[in-house]
Each structure stands twice: as structure tokens, then as C-alpha cells.
Structure 1
Amino acid sequence: MADKACCAPPRGAQSGLAAPRIAPDPAAHLRNCRPCPGGVALVGTSDPQIPSDCEGPLIQKRVRDLWVEAGTITVAQFRRFVMATGYRTIAEQLGWSFVFFDHLPNRGEGTLGVDGLEWWRKIERATWHDPTGPQGAPASDEMPVTHVAWDDARAFATWAGGRLPKEAEWEHAARGGLGDVRYPWGDDEPSDTNAKHLNIWQGEFPVHDTGGDGFTGPAPALAYQPNGYGLYQMVGNVWEWSAEPFRVRGASREARQINAAARGQKLLKGGSFLCHRSYCYRYRIAARTGNTPDSTSAHTGFRVVYDHAP
């Protein structure tokens, strides 16, 4: 169960590009956030499903009060940032990004794929505003912004007066006050025919998504019901960049090997619309993955947290 089948591959060679310095803009007025009370946060799980990701053990950390964006940052929010700053994302600078093949004409026939992950296609000029490339439909305002690298996410967060969340903060927010649960709504497993809480894959990956949750691609950022803290889609839909590097706890030989292999990667949380229990069971709160900070894809976005009330 649960290899990295749906997770986006890294760029073949790290680009060396980095975001320009962006100053906070007090006039941004972008916040659509909810209060998240501090306290003792639960991080990880005592029932890991993907041991190689080092999801366990379940530990406690103290976190402060936060204000968390209700959803992942939307296309409309990101557009305001770009218009105010002239910012160009790493995908725009490099001229391409990864797109899932079933969202392309003729399933991306004639485009370059990734060895062993052929459903990911290298699409020229796929960007946050043209998520399947210039021949596809432009991004809708209410959708989560995607094709953003870690540096892009951090630049936006700084401009908006916030930051990316730490893993403990993200998990604390995702639990919504419920404690040691597997999902933001509790422990009930989503159904293949009716995943009413989140946007994941139903059917046979990668050939057919039944759309039992209402979508066969990304859903609007504020779709479905929010959790106990008023936060939408903390799992499923799009992966969310965090503030931290991807690393695993512990001093074992395995932990050292994993950390060495993941050197330079950043942590992502939450899973995406391509996750399914049979092969990528990462739409759980404790699930985690990593990728190089310059990597971009059609199922990776971010959420912003703030240390002070709006």
C-alpha cells in the first residue's frame, strides 16, 4: 500500500532559482482566516500507515494561538499578489511544470513523461494562471492556486503579513479540536462512491476517476464542510507546503538514511485529489511527504498562517 505514486516528482535538476525579496504589504487585505487556539498539539500518529514516511510516533508539542487561512490560497488571492508586486513564479521563469496526463488533450500524447510516473507530463507554459498549459482553460478565481514552488509560497505569505505553517501548527489546525483523529472530521474512512468530506481519487488509478466526491480534478478551495476550526480541505485537494524541511525524527540508521536522501527537500502536508488508500494513503492528518523547493505541479498549493489577529 501507499507508495509515492500520486506525489509529484521533483524537477530533474534543481534550478538554482530563488524568489526575490518581498516586503510585507499592510494594504494587502487578503486575509480570510479563522482563529486557531493554541495549546498542546498532537503531531504524528501511534498507528503509522506508511512507515517509510516516519509518521510516528504520536508526540505532543505546544503551539501558540494562530490565525489560519480558511482555505488554501486561491487563484484570485495570488493574482492580487502578482498584480501588486510583478512577481514571476519559478514555473514561469523555467517555462514548464508538471500536469496530470488525464487533464490534457489526448492524455498528453507527444509530451514528455517521468520514468516510472508516466501520468506526470512536462507541460510547457503550465503556470498558476494556466494550470494545464496555454491550450487549456485558464484558472478560475475560486480554485486553489497551484504550480507554485516553496519559494513562491513563502514570498506570498511574507507579502500578506503571514508565513507558512510548521508541521505541528498544521496538524493542530487540521484536527480542529478533535484530538487524536485520523481526519479533520474524525476517523470515518471516505467512501469510494461518496467521499463527502474531501476531494480524493475514486476508481482505478491512474486510468479512471469516478468523481464520486464531485470532482475529477481540483475542487474550489472552500468546497465541502469545514472542520471544527472553520478550515476547509485540510486534507485532499492539493498538497500544502509547510515552513519546514522534510526530515524524520529519530537517530536510527534508517532515519539517518531517509534524512540524507531528502536533504534540501521541504515538507508537504495534506495529500491531494490524486490520493487513494490503495496506493497513496496520504490524505490523513499525520501523513507527510517531501519535495525539492523548486518543484511545481498541478496538485501543489499552500495555506498561510498569521501570528496576530487581522
Structure 2
Amino acid sequence: MMNYLLCVFTIICIISCGSDQNNNGSQTVSTAGGMTCAMQGIPNRYVNTGADTIEYKIGKDEAKMVLIKGGSFKMGSKNFADAMPIHDVTVSSFYMDEHEVTNAQFATFVKATGYVTVAERPLDPKDFPGAEPAMLLPGSAVFVGSSDVKDLGDALQWWKYVVGANWRHPEGPESSIVDRDRYPVTQLAFQDAEAYAKWAGKRLPTEAEWEYAAKAGIHTDEIYYWGDDLKQNGKWLTNIYQGSFPGHNTKEDGFENTAKVKSYPPNAYGLYDMEGNVWEWCADFYRTDYYAAHDGINPKGPKDSYDPQEPGLVKRVQRGGSFLCNDQYCERYKAGARGKGEVNSPTNNVGFRCVKDIAD
């Protein structure tokens, strides 16, 4: 039975962002293709209880928002197959949270509404035929690292399903967000982020809005959203993984996991952590072929999801990379790159920020 549950609960994340293999098995760096660094999903572990459709009285999250004036830009990247072709996109003006939603902000939402996140909800025995109901315990995926990695293609060596892991206990039941009010909230499924945004009178950004805001007028060919260097005057400009992934994080940037919001300089639009720290949910469904067909005026994403790596799962776009990205393994924090996540698979390296229409 325990082996069965391990098979059910283990988060399958086939990640090969930093390098892609060609047909003869050798590796080339930054080729156009490969998989994303965002967590790949598992078959839906949770029955949708309808909590994401509940209408709450509009609350207030006290977040400072930045006016992003509309305009046109080159969307995409020549370094990733699902981010091509680079194409012209125009977006209307909107407001965006200056930083990722924090633990304190999410706690205010939960206190006001009684909302229960996906990672906290009981698992339905009907979804797991043959399993003992008492063993179906809520939890989520946690990065645990590994110093003995033989194959970077096997992410199960450093991810673990941890019973009791949720937004209050992002690394497991022994962890806590006490004294982490200003850190980004994590362990949220897509519907959790969407529920918060609705309560706050906002919404999740479209993929186009997110990239437009992140690029902040910088030319498409820049390596990172701010330019070509990871450091300025010897200081790191983003929270990513330094050292040998996944077993030796040198923490040169000062952080092993998430960093307090606004720990790094903002971009030209006044937005913080648009690269690194935590992946951010976007409103769009994820499709590898979407860039070849979509409208260039305020695109909202495709009508459905399709990922050829896991065609049976529903995925949404995630953007920006996380504290687990580095060039040895995960390059999807770079400018124009796309991430993806199964909608019901929260992890401790995924969060979100909100936007608001000018008309509101």
C-alpha cells in the first residue's frame, strides 16, 4: 500500500531547462526547445469542491500597484521553442502589484473568507481506488535537494510529496511562516491564486501582460529582463540557485529558498522579482503552439491546454522562474521564457501577483 501511495503522490517533474538533449544524446545549451523548470503536474489529486467559484465580498489586500502604460513589444524568445516565433503584441494599460503576494496578504484573505487551499483539502477516496481512506492525507510537493544525483533527468531525487505541506507550512509541517510575513506565499494551486485575486477585486495577469511588464521596454535580445548581467557592482540582481544543482546551494545571493519581497532592485517600471524568487501563475492556458496563431492585440491565451509532454493534464502558464533556477539546469527564468504548471499541483516555489484593469 505504501508503494502505491508513493506512486500516486510523487510529483512527476521532468525538467531539463538548462540544457536540451539532441538525437545523439549530447547536450547543447540554450537550444530552442526542451522542457520548463516549472513543476510538471500529477493526475488531479483533488475533487474540485467549487471553492474557486464562491463569490466573496470584495476585500482589500493593501498592495501597492504600479501603473503599466499600454504599448507594443516583441513577445517571445529565440532560445525556447515554445516561445517562438517572436511576434508583435499590443497590450492596454493596466495596474500590477509591485511585488508577489505575501504570506501576510494571503492570511488576510483567508481570515476574511475562510478559504481552504487545495493543498489543505481532504483527498477523495474515489480518486484513488484501492487505497485506504485513512492514508489519503493532504499535502504538497517540497524541494528537498539531493547531494547524490546521478541523472538530472530524474527530478524525483529532489522533490518529495510531504504530508502537511501547505501555504502555512511551505516546507512541511515542521516549517512555519512565522516571521515570514513579507515573503511570497507559496504552495498554491491555480484556483487558490485566482480566488485571492477575485476577493481583492483584481485578476491574474495574462501571459502577454506579464511579459510586457517584465521587459519594461528592454530589447528582446537581452538575456535577462534587465540586461545581460546577473550581478551589478558585485551584488546579485535576482534570487536564483547558485552552486551545483540540486545538492549544493552556495547561497551567494543570501537566500536558500524564497527571499523577502523587494530584496532586489526593481525593474524600470518599478516591479520587483519579475525574475527568480517564485514562479508566478498567469491566467492563460498553456499550449506549446500558441505563439504561432494568437491575436496580437491583448491576447488572452488559448481556449484549452495542451502539453505534448503530459497531454492528459490541464496546465496554466507560469512566469519568471524561481529560487531553484540556474544555468546548469533551469534557464526558464530568462527573458521571454515560459513556464507551465498543472493547475492542482502546488509547490513551494510557485506564487503569484495580481493585476487590475484601468476601468476598475
Normalised by the size of structure 2, how large is the TM-score?
0.74
Note closer, same or farther for the CA distance 1:65–1:97 as it changes in structure 2 (3 Å cut). Answer: same
Aligned partner of 2:72 in structure 1 is: 40
Note closer, same or farther for the CA distance 1:259–1:62 as it changes in structure 2 (3 Å cut). Answer: farther
Q: Given that residues 22 and 158 in structure 1 are in contact (C-alpha distance below 8 angstroms), is that contact kept between their aligned partners in structure 2?
A: no
Q: Per-residue deviation at 1:116? A: 4.2
Aligned partner of 2:299 in structure 1 is: none
Among candidates 189, 212, 215, match of residue 149 of structure 1: 189
Q: Give the % identical residues.
A: 37
Count of residues in correspondence between the two structures: 291
CA–CA separation in structure 1 for the residues paired with 2:175 and 2:340: 28
- 1:150-179, Cα deviation, whole Å (9 max, x unpaired): 000000001111111111100000012224
CA–CA separation in structure 1 for the residues paired with 2:353 and 2:203: 9
Q: Given that residues 270 and 282 in structure 1 are in contact (C-alpha distance below 8 angstroms), is that contact kept between their aligned partners in structure 2?
A: yes
Q: Per-residue deviation at 1:57? A: 1.6
Normalised by the size of structure 1, how large is the TM-score?
0.86
Bigger Rg, which one: 2
3-state SS of paired residue (2:88): strand
Q: Per-residue deviation at 1:22? A: 3.9
Structure 1 unaligned residues grouped into runs of 5+:
108-113
3-state SS of paired residue (1:154): helix
Which runs of 4 or more aligned residues in structure 1 lie more than 6 Å from their structure 2 counterparts after TM superposition?
A: none
CA–CA separation in structure 1 for the residues paired with 2:75 and 2:169: 36
CA–CA separation in structure 2 for the residues paired with 1:6 and 1:44: 17
CA–CA separation in structure 1 for the residues paired with 2:154 and 2:43: 11
3-state SS of paired residue (1:306): strand
Q: Given that residues 36 and 340 in structure 2 are in contact (C-alpha distance below 8 angstroms), is that contact kept between their aligned partners in structure 1?
A: no
Structure 2 unaligned residues grouped into runs of 5+:
1-17, 20-33, 123-137, 147-152, 294-305
CA–CA separation in structure 2 for the residues paired with 1:5 and 1:60: 23
Q: Per-residue deviation at 1:98? A: 0.6
Q: Per-residue deviation at 1:292? A: 1.2
Q: Per-residue deviation at 1:257? A: 7.2
Cα RMSD (Å): 2.6
3-state SS of paired residue (1:279): coil
Among candidates 273, 280, 286, match of residue 233 of structure 1: 273
Aligned partner of 2:95 in structure 1 is: 67
3-state SS of paired residue (1:20): helix
3-state SS of paired residue (1:117): helix
Among candidates 41, 46, 52, match of residue 10 of structure 1: 41
Among candidates 123, 139, 164, match of residue 125 of structure 1: 164
The one-letter amino acid paired with 1:183 is Y
Note closer, same or farther for the CA distance 1:132–1:266 as it changes in structure 2 (3 Å cut). Answer: same
CA–CA separation in structure 1 for the residues paired with 2:39 and 2:211: 22
Q: Per-residue deviation at 1:129? A: 1.1
Q: Given that residues 319 and 339 in structure 2 are in contact (C-alpha distance below 8 angstroms), is that contact kept between their aligned partners in structure 1?
A: yes
Note closer, same or farther for the CA distance 1:128–1:210 as it changes in structure 2 (3 Å cut). Answer: same
Q: Given that residues 242 and 267 in structure 1 are in contact (C-alpha distance below 8 angstroms), is that contact kept between their aligned partners in structure 2?
A: yes
